[in-house]
């Protein structure tokens, strides 16, 4: 693994760095203005990135990106992090939905759906999890029944991030039941969220925000033209989405972790606690973990370049990142003291938000299973078909 940038990569980084310095986002709205105002601000920021071709440089040029290499895409996330600007608002559309359509979509679907993802005109959400199907996604029960030139869907989804802002939902539903294997008979749809049969109810989290929602689907209609990858092929299409989720977010997460650790160093220094061996040891350990994560993220990228797809080691990055983030925010609470108990303070928010890290995008227990079985080669745990 050679981490020296080529001339082209250095030029890419310098161009982006100069653009970010000259075009910072406007000031964010105040917290009292609410979540919607904050989302609108992030949407506007994506629009600004889009106008200059920076919304998704990793997308091929024919779809409105810059055809950036994997290394350049990693540089993109590192530079956004270093400039401390937010990720574009339509993150699920850009990192999950768009790349899934590029693999499985028809030409008409690509032409219709990719441009408004990029410009943030149409926001996307991911309707996979259900009350009884999270880790075991193939157990999902939402049903789609054929009706004329389309489908009628009934069921419930849960934890659907950003559904309240979304126009389209990547929805996996059962189109055939009673098959020998439960991941057979699933179909991947694009569901229009703006219709009577779809109800979105926000779920308030421990942080006070409602990032995600319950989705009640009662007779929603989806046309045949919005089936992605063919009827009955939903499991394979969903795996493409999930692979992009882990690969795409991995880099952005480790960059943000480094920023938070730098901030915690500053907060410790301000309080004159850097010489305290208790805190110095804990900060030292976090520094080593963060650096390990950075190198693992780059190694994962080298693997994709070499073998064409991310390896199961990516699960180790997500597991290590969520564990480290929880340790970091707990240490921050010990260091800043009472401030971390004050509602809506920065560190109290980070402490509470970090609890979900070991659940979202694959729970730590599931990731440990993957590492045990596919990286270490330990015996497989028997599960139901």
Nearer to ligand FAD, 65 or 362 (CB): 362
Q: Which of 78, 122, 130, 245 is catalytic?
A: 245
Whole-angstrom Cα distance, residue 38 to residue 44? 10
Q: Which of 365, 375, 378, 380 binds ligand FAD (CB under 6 A)?
A: 365
Nearer to ligand FAD, 72 or 130 (CB): 130
Interface positions, 40-99, toward ligand FAD (CB under 6 A) = none
Q: Are 238 and 127 in contact (CB under 8 A)?
A: no
Nearer to ligand FAD, 65 or 234 (CB): 234
Ranges assigned E (strand) in 208-258: 212-223, 227-228
- CA torsion 30-257-99-80 (nearest 10°) is 60
- CA torsion 145-150-153-157 (nearest 10°) is 130
Interface positions, 199-218, toward ligand FAD (CB under 6 A) = 212
Residue range at the interface with ligand FAD (CB under 6 A); choices 21-29, 66-74, 155-163, 192-200 = 155-163
Annotation says 7 is catalytic = no
The DSSP symbol for 67 reads -
369 scored as a contact of ligand FAD (CB under 6 A):
yes
What angle (nearest 5°) sits at the alpha carbon of residue 366, between those of residues 362 and 371? Answer: 110
Residue range at the interface with ligand FAD (CB under 6 A); choices 190-198, 214-222, 252-260, 356-364 = 356-364
Q: Which of 40, 85, 273, 359 binds ligand FAD (CB under 6 A)?
A: 359
Site residue total, ligand FAD (CB under 6 A): 17
Rg for the chain, CA atoms, rounded: 21
Q: Which of 119, 156, 161, 330 binds ligand FAD (CB under 6 A)?
A: 161
Which residue has 């929805």 as its token pair? 171
Minimum CB–partner distance for residue 215 and ligand FAD (Å):
9
360 scored as a contact of ligand FAD (CB under 6 A):
yes
Minimum CB–partner distance for residue 342 and ligand FAD (Å):
23
Question: Within a 13 Å sphere around the CA of 273, how many CA atoms are in the beta-carbon half?
Answer: 19
Q: Are 367 and 163 in contact (CB under 8 A)?
A: no
C-alpha torsion sign, points 76, 78, 84, 89: positive
Nearer to ligand FAD, 156 or 302 (CB): 156
Whole-angstrom Cα distance, residue 245 to residue 91? 10
Interface positions, 111-140, toward ligand FAD (CB under 6 A) = 125-126, 128-129, 134-135
Residue 101, Cβ neighbours under 10 Å: how many? 26
156 scored as a contact of ligand FAD (CB under 6 A):
no
Nearer to ligand FAD, 23 or 363 (CB): 363
What angle (nearest 5°) sits at the alpha carbon of residue 251, between those of residues 280 and 267? Answer: 30
Token reading at 156: 């419930």
Binding residues vs ligand FAD (CB under 6 A): 125-126, 128-129, 134-135, 159-161, 212, 356, 359-360, 363, 365-366, 369
Which active-site residues does the annotation give?
A: 245
């Amino acid at each position: 693994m050679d981490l020296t940038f080529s001339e082209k990569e250095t030029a890419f980084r310098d161009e982006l760095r100069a653009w970010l310095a000259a075009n910072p986002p406007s000031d964010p709205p105040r917290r009292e203005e609410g979540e919607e105002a904050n989302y609108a601000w992030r949407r506007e920021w994506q629009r600004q990135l889009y106008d200059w071709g920076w919304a998704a440089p990793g997308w091929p040029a024919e779809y409105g990106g810059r055809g950036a290499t994997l290394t350049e895409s990693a540089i993109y996330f590192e530079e956004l992090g270093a400039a401390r600007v937010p990720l574009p608002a339509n993150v699920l559309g850009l990192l999950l939905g768009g790349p899934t359509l590029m693999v499985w979509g028809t030409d008409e679907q690509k032409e219709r759906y990719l441009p408004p993802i990029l410009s943030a005109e149409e926001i996307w959400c991911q309707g996979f999890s259900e009350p009884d199907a999270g880790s075991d996604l193939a157990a999902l029960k939402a049903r789609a029944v054929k009706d004329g030139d389309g489908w009628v869907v009934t069921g419930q989804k849960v934890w659907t991030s950003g559904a309240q802002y979304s126009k389209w939902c990547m929805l996996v539903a059962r189109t055939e039941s009673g098959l020998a294997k439960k991941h057979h008979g699933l179909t991947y749809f694009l569901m229009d969220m703006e219709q009577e049969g779809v109800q979105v109810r926000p779920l308030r989290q421990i942080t006070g925000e409602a990032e995600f929602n319950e989705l009640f689907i009662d007779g929603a209609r989806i046309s045949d033209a919005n089936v992605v990858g063919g009827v009955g092929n939903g499991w394979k299409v969903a795996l493409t989405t999930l692979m992009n989720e882990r690969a795409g977010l991995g880099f952005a997460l480790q960059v943000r972790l480094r920023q938070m650790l730098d901030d915690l160093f500053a907060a410790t220094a301000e309080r004159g606690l850097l010489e305290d061996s208790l805190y110095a040891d804990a900060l030292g350990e976090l520094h080593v973990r963060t650096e390990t994560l950075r190198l693992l993220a780059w190694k994962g990228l080298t693997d994709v370049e070499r073998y064409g797809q991310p390896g199961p080691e990516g699960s180790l990055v997500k597991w290590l990142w969520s564990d480290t983030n929880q340790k970091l925010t707990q240490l921050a609470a010990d260091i800043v003291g009472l401030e971390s108990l004050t509602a809506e303070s920065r560190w109290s928010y980070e402490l509470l938000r970090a609890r979900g890290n070991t659940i979202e995008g694959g729970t730590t227990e599931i990731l440990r299973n993957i590492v045990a079985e596919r990286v270490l080669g330990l015996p497989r745990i028997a599960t139901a078909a």
